[in-house]
């Protein structure tokens, strides 16, 4: 009897054939759990990485774990023998929404690579019961609901014996540790994602949607990821969450280091703490506090922490650079504020000529990035351009003091999830053409020689078509939307934010609609897929979604147009959706305002899956363009240095662009008669005014060129042989973006962990 059969028999006393998908899922989960727990952790190695992050957007784990254990194909075949389809069973699993977007997904890719490379490294974060939120569309508007993913029985969380006490001003909370095993690809060791949960949590306090009493921290602390922080109570809850995470995490770091043989004086030889953006930055004063509590002198404690903590920056948007009022910190965590003040005093004494790098500013607010740079030993950006901008403008004053701390680590993606799992047909085809070594060394360059090979081209076109069909079926099942698989699939999927310029794609869609109405019918139909959540308090982002949903309805209802153009807005875009959309896509939309997107990682996933990039020279898209060249990517728009000077000189006036007739016509459509007849006038007016009078992210500066380049691209698609040669070029050069490469770089330059 196979092992799955044994589990099914033991658990349900029946055969595979007799079992439902839910029962099979449950049995498989137990089987994988048992197999993973047989693997030793890497804790026999002296030095260990702790990747502290408020977000880990891990996605579903069943198929990924089966793949990493090397038993996916066997399990699939065995299920098939009894008429069961593994993809149906995968649907049973809930996807945890423990992240907003790129930063959280990056953390998940990194954990996969750390385990795959056999490095000793765990993730440390929080176990949010209802994740971020579930997005629902009603009346063409976004609504939010709690996203329940913990089932109690059939999830991946394993309660450990460990709990820590976390002190706050007038009370203490207890942090219970849950572990999720992180398996590496073909690895015989495992690491863990360590998630802390509030012992006194009460799910029952959540009312309608995602409403709950933000002040009731004793019951709410780990209910949601970043609940709305537009109000003061929300911001205070964020401080509670961050401190809860880092205090419990720091206790874990110290206890485990001692277990591995540290005397704490030598902590920096035993542990490295990477902080994922500033959200875990309070770990710096907390570690200092705990070390002094354990008998180490303050000066030495500071020195130890300086050699233990490293910081990654993920954004240059100033509103995302966290600063906390000292008065708020004093009310919530008074035992660390004297430490923050002392850290600030010391740096002011040492660098009096660098006021821009102060930790505490003139309004008595503590800057988390400043603290992390002064008291960490490494600062990295997440793509070459991003790191350059940090050095030359955003963090320039710090770079002058500490040039040796700055380094770039261009982001990456795990090939296990983003091709082997999500695009098995392409993965198998690559095996056939270039052998299987790419699965472990990420080297796809041998594929380049097939650029003009007609048979290879035909095979790639067939694979893309199959992936389109899979997406079409999934869309119908998930959202009840029907689409024509014989279309060009054009996709923008990411959080809704003005700097990412979904509103520019909207203007393109308006252009296309009008153009088709005017009789310019495209040879191949075009489908524009838009997916992303909008922060509940971010009005313009909500309005952009509303405008898309409204335009989608207009286009659908228009007989002259609907055979040639469709706009599909994906509800509750998540990792599972991405896994279906990316392999099916032809055009990868990476259209942020140059200088604003730190890296992007979706851009890499699309490239690996044979989509061609349409983008600005921003983030890692710059590196994609360098790798494939201008002949194999479609680049448009102003460059980052021009944009940075425009901001510096206040040189962008939206009216200058709005008055151009071609632009005016598109923008006016937003709250014109047709849109208002289908949508809500107030939302559409508000979006219109935002663009016409503010346009903070300069939509109109690039729109004309965007439309032109995109039309060229659509025309080029019609020459399928040429198009597919570009696809080969993109796939063949995607190896650089493997997160195994990124993690190798982190380890070589920052972590120095012993490799296998």
Q: Does 412 bind ligand 26Q (CB under 6 A)?
A: no
Q: Does 313 bind ligand 26Q (CB under 6 A)?
A: no
488-493 vs 406-408, strand pairing mode: unpaired
Spatial contact of 368 and 321, defined as CB atoms under 8 Å apart: yes
User: Cα(8)–Cα(16) distance, rounded to whole angstroms?
Assistant: 6
Active-site amino acid positions? 314, 494-495, 500, 601, 605
Piece in contact with ligand 26Q (CB under 6 A), picked from 370-378, 459-467, 595-603, 677-685: 595-603
Of 26 and 601, the one with the shorter C-beta distance to ligand 26Q is 601
When binding is defined by CB under 6 A, the residue of 601, 632, 699, 742 that contacts ligand 26Q is 601
Least separation, in Å, of the C-beta of 501 and ligand 26Q?
Answer: 13
User: Cα(282)–Cα(364) distance, rounded to whole angstroms?
Assistant: 16
Q: Which residue has the tokens 């469709």?
A: 566
State both tokens at 333.
């965590």
Contacts by residues 269-272 (CB-CB < 8 Å, ≥ 24 positions apart): 269/46, 269/47, 270/46, 270/47, 270/48, 271/47, 271/48, 271/49, 271/50, 271/308, 272/47, 272/48, 272/49, 272/50, 272/308, 272/309, 272/310, 272/750, 272/751, 272/752, 272/753
Least separation, in Å, of the C-beta of 322 and ligand 26Q?
Answer: 5
Rule CB under 6 A: which of 316-335 touch ligand 26Q? 320, 322
Helix (H, G, I), strand (E, B) or coil at 605: helix
Of 101 and 735, the one with the shorter C-beta distance to ligand 26Q is 101
Alpha carbon separation from 283 to 26, 111, 239, 253, 310 (Å, rounded): 37, 20, 12, 11, 11
Q: Does 243 bind ligand 26Q (CB under 6 A)?
A: no
Least separation, in Å, of the C-beta of 618 and ligand 26Q?
Answer: 9
Of 288 and 368, the one with the shorter C-beta distance to ligand 26Q is 368
Give the single-character DSSP code of 302. H
Least separation, in Å, of the C-beta of 365 and ligand 26Q?
Answer: 13
Q: Which residue has the tokens 């409204």?
A: 550
Of 386 and 511, the one with the shorter C-beta distance to ligand 26Q is 386
Neighbouring CB atoms inside 10 A of 153's CB total: 8
When binding is defined by CB under 6 A, the residue of 43, 229, 300, 556 that contacts ligand 26Q is 229
Spatial contact of 422 and 582, defined as CB atoms under 8 Å apart: yes
DSSP 462-511: HHHHHHHHHHHHHHHHHH-----SSSEEEEEES---GGGTHHHHHHHHHH
Alpha carbon separation from 501 to 135, 496, 721, 754 (Å, rounded): 20, 8, 31, 43
Q: Which residue has the tokens 């909207």?
A: 506
Q: Does 598 bind ligand 26Q (CB under 6 A)?
A: yes
Least separation, in Å, of the C-beta of 262 and ligand 26Q?
Answer: 31
Of 279 and 638, the one with the shorter C-beta distance to ligand 26Q is 279
Q: Which residue has the tokens 């335009």?
A: 551
User: Cα(18)–Cα(23) distance, rounded to whole angstroms?
Assistant: 10
Q: Does 314 bind ligand 26Q (CB under 6 A)?
A: yes
Piece in contact with ligand 26Q (CB under 6 A), picked from 352-360, 554-562, 594-602, 710-718: 594-602
Rule CB under 6 A: which of 465-524 touch ligand 26Q? none
Q: Which of 445, 518, 520, 528 is nearest to 483 (CA)?
A: 528
User: Cα(214)–Cα(407) distance, rounded to whole angstroms?
Assistant: 39
State both tokens at 425.
């047909």
With b for 16 or more beta-carbon neighbours within 10 A and e for fewer, the 100-123 pattern comes to bbbbbbbbbbbbbbbbbbbbbbbb
Least separation, in Å, of the C-beta of 751 and ligand 26Q?
Answer: 17
Least separation, in Å, of the C-beta of 101 and ligand 26Q?
Answer: 5
How many C-alpha atoms does 93 have within 13 Å on its Cβ side?
Answer: 25
Of 430 and 598, the one with the shorter C-beta distance to ligand 26Q is 598
Of 388 and 558, the one with the shorter C-beta distance to ligand 26Q is 388
Alpha carbon separation from 469 to 42, 438, 683 (Å, rounded): 42, 27, 35
Q: Does 282 bind ligand 26Q (CB under 6 A)?
A: no
Piece in contact with ligand 26Q (CB under 6 A), picked from 38-46, 295-303, 338-346, 593-601: 593-601
Of 415 and 688, the one with the shorter C-beta distance to ligand 26Q is 415
Least separation, in Å, of the C-beta of 623 and ligand 26Q?
Answer: 12
State both tokens at 429.
């085809």
Q: Does 600 bind ligand 26Q (CB under 6 A)?
A: yes
Of 245 and 565, the one with the shorter C-beta distance to ligand 26Q is 245
Piece in contact with ligand 26Q (CB under 6 A), picked from 112-120, 286-294, 314-322, 337-345: 314-322
When binding is defined by CB under 6 A, the residue of 619, 654, 732, 735 that contacts ligand 26Q is 619
Mark 366-385 with x for binding to ligand 26Q (rule: CB under 6 A) and - for no binding.
----------------x---
Count the residues of the shown chain that bind ligand 26Q, applying the rule CB under 6 A: 19
Least separation, in Å, of the C-beta of 102 and ligand 26Q?
Answer: 3
Helix (H, G, I), strand (E, B) or coil at 340: helix
Question: Which residue number is nearest to ligand 26Q in terms of Cβ?
Answer: 102
Piece in contact with ligand 26Q (CB under 6 A), picked from 431-439, 576-584, 598-606, 625-633: 598-606
Mark 187-226 with x for binding to ligand 26Q (rule: CB under 6 A) and - for no binding.
---------------------------------------x
Q: How would you write 15-83 as a 3-class SS string?
A: CCCCCCHHHHHHHHHHHHHHHHHHCCECCCCCCEEEEECCCCCCCCCHHHHHHHHCCHHHHHHHHHHCC
Of 12 and 499, the one with the shorter C-beta distance to ligand 26Q is 499
Of 281 and 359, the one with the shorter C-beta distance to ligand 26Q is 281
Rule CB under 6 A: which of 61-120 touch ligand 26Q? 100-103, 106
When binding is defined by CB under 6 A, the residue of 68, 115, 191, 599 that contacts ligand 26Q is 599
Least separation, in Å, of the C-beta of 220 and ligand 26Q?
Answer: 17
Of 322 and 702, the one with the shorter C-beta distance to ligand 26Q is 322
Least separation, in Å, of the C-beta of 616 and ligand 26Q?
Answer: 13
Q: Does 450 bind ligand 26Q (CB under 6 A)?
A: no
Least separation, in Å, of the C-beta of 654 and ligand 26Q?
Answer: 24
Helix (H, G, I), strand (E, B) or coil at 637: coil
When binding is defined by CB under 6 A, the residue of 23, 597, 623, 702 that contacts ligand 26Q is 597
Q: Does 411 bind ligand 26Q (CB under 6 A)?
A: yes
State both tokens at 628.
């494939």
The residues binding ligand 26Q (CB under 6 A) are 100-103, 106, 226, 229, 314-315, 320, 322, 382, 411, 597-601, 619
């Amino acid at each position: 009897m196979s092992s799955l059969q044994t589990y099914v028999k033991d658990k349900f006393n029946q055969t595979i054939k007799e079992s439902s998908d839910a029962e099979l899922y449950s049995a498989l989960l137990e089987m994988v759990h048992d197999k993973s727990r047989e693997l030793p952790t890497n804790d026999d190695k002296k030095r260990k990485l702790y990747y502290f992050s408020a977000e880990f957007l891990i996605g579903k784990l069943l198929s990924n774990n089966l793949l990493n254990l090397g038993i996916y194909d066997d399990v699939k075949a065995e299920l098939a023998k009894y008429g069961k389809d593994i993809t149906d069973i995968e649907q049973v699993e809930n996807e945890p929404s423990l992240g907003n977007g790129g930063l959280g997904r990056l953390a998940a890719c990194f954990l996969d690579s750390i385990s795959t490379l056999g490095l000793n490294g765990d993730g440390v974060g929080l176990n949010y019961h209802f994740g971020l939120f579930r997005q629902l569309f009603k009346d063409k508007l976004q609504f939010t609901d709690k996203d329940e993913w913990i089932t109690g029985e059939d999830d991946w969380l394993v309660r450990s014996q460990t709990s820590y006490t976390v002190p706050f001003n007038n009370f203490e909370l207890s942090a219970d540790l849950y572990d999720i095993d992180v398996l590496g690809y073909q690895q015989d060791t495992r690491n863990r994602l360590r998630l802390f949960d509030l012992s006194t949590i009460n799910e029952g306090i959540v009312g309608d949607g995602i409403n709950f009493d933000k002040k009731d921290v004793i019951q709410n602390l780990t209910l949601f990821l970043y609940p709305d922080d537009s109000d003061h109570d929300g911001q205070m809850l964020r401080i509670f969450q961050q401190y809860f995470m880092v205090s419990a995490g720091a206790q874990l770091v110290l206890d485990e280091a001692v277990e591995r043989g540290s005397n704490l004086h030598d902590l920096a030889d035993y542990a490295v703490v990477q902080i994922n953006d500033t959200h875990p930055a309070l770990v710096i004063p907390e570690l200092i506090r705990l070390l002094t509590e354990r008998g180490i002198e303050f000066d030495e404690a500071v020195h130890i922490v300086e050699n233990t903590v490293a910081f990654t920056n993920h954004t240059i948007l100033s509103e995302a650079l966290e600063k906390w009022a000292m008065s708020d910190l004093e009310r919530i965590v008074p035992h660390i504020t004297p430490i923050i003040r002392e850290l600030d005093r010391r740096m002011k004494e040492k660098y009096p000529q660098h006021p821009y790098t102060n930790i505490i500013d003139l309004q008595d607010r503590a800057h988390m990035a400043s603290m992390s740079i002064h008291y960490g030993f490494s600062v990295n950006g997440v793509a070459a351009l991003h790191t350059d901008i940090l050095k030359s403008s955003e963090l320039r004053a710090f770079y002058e003091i500490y040039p040796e701390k700055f380094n770039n680590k261009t982001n990456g993606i795990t090939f296990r999830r983003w091709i082997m799992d999500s695009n098995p047909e392409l993965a198998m085809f690559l095996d056939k053409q270039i052998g299987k070594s790419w699965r472990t060394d990420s080297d796809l360059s041998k594929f380049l020689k097939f650029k003009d090979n007609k048979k290879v081209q035909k095979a790639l076109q067939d694979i893309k078509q199959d992936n389109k069909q899979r997406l079409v079926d999934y869309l119908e099942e998930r959202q009840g939307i029907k689409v024509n698989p014989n279309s060009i699939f054009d996709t923008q999927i990411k959080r809704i934010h003005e700097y990412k310029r979904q509103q520019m794609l909207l203007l393109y869609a308006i252009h296309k609609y009008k153009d088709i109405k005017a009789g310019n019918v495209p040879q191949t139909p075009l489908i524009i897929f838009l997916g992303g959540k909008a922060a509940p308090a971010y009005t313009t982002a909500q309005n952009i979604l509303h405008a898309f949903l409204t335009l989608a309805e207009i286009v659908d209802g228009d007989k002259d147009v609907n055979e040639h153009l469709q706009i599909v807005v994906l509800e509750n875009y998540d990792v599972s959706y991405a896994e279906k959309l990316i392999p099916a896509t032809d055009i990868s939309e990476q259209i942020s305002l140059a200088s604003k997107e730190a890296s992007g990682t979706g851009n890499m996933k699309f490239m690996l899956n044979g989509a061609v990039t349409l983008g600005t020279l921003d983030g890692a898209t710059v590196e994609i363009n360098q790798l494939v060249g201008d002949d194999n990517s479609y680049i448009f728009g102003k460059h980052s240095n021009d944009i940075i000077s425009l901001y510096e000189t206040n040189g962008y006036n939206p009216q200058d662009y709005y008055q151009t007739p071609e632009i005016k016509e598109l923008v006016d459509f937003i709250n014109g008669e047709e849109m208002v007849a289908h949508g809500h006038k107030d939302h559409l007016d508000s979006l219109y005014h935002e663009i016409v009078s503010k346009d903070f992210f300069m939509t109109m500066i690039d729109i004309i060129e965007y439309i032109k380049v995109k039309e060229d691209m659509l025309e080029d698609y019609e020459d399928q042989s040429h198009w597919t040669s570009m696809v080969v070029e993109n796939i063949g050069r995607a190896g650089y973006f493997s997160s195994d490469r990124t993690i190798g770089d982190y380890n070589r330059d920052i972590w120095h962990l012993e490799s296998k």
